[in-house]
Amino acid sequence: MTKDKTVRLTKFELELMTALWELGQASVREIQEKLPEKKRPAYTTVQTIVYRLEEKGAVRRVKKIGNAHIFEAAVTRQSTHRRLINELLDLFGGSARPLMAHLVETGKLSLEDVRELESDLLKQDGQPAKGEEGKKRGRT
């Protein structure tokens, strides 16, 4: 079910997707305007990318307002992020540990962060909330 395709996106495409994820549904114009001014490409440039994203199956047209098409993401931020993370992880031998270590070394992650993360984990793990949670127990 959560089998949504994880298309490979370039950096720029990713930025458009990010804009779209935030907008929910939007026209090319809105997407373009959502991009930071410094690197805001021409309207047609954005249009082209959106079309390509559509071909890749990353976005889809949902409706038409006036004569403008309204798009929305067809892949979730989640799955896209997951894909990126996995790719990065591969570089680190597939394990998150070295990545963590690196984050710590470069000061991106502090002891506090880790502690808080731990307590969050405990909460989730200790008392399995109501509902479904038994699926992702990848404990080795």
Partner DNA sequence: GACAGCCTACTACAATAGTCGTATTTTTAG
Partner DNA sequence: CTAAAAATACGACTATTGTAGTAGGCTGTC
Task: Provide the binding-site residues for a second copy, judged by CB under 8 A.
Answer: 11, 14, 18, 81-82, 84-85, 87-89, 91-92, 96-97, 99-111, 113-118, 120-122, 125, 135-140
Residue 43 site contact among a second copy, DNA, none (CB < 5 to 8 Å, cut-off depends on kind): DNA
Task: Write out the residues near DNA by the rule CB under 7 A.
Answer: 8, 10-13, 27-29, 39, 41-45, 47-49, 52, 66-69
Which residues fall within 8 angstroms of residue 16, CB to CB, at 6 or more apart? 31, 35, 46, 49, 50, 53
27's CB contacts (< 8 A; 6+ apart) are 65, 68, 69, 70, 71
**Binds 45, which of DNA, a second copy, none (CB < 5 to 8 A, cut-off by type)?**
DNA
> Tokens representing 75?
């892949």
* Phi and psi at residue 72, to the nearest 5°: -150, 160
Residue 3 binds what, of DNA, a second copy, none (CB under 5 to 8 Å, by partner type)?
Answer: none
To a second copy, the closest distance from the beta carbon of 29 in angstroms equals: 24
Which structure tokens are listed for 73? Answer: 């993401």
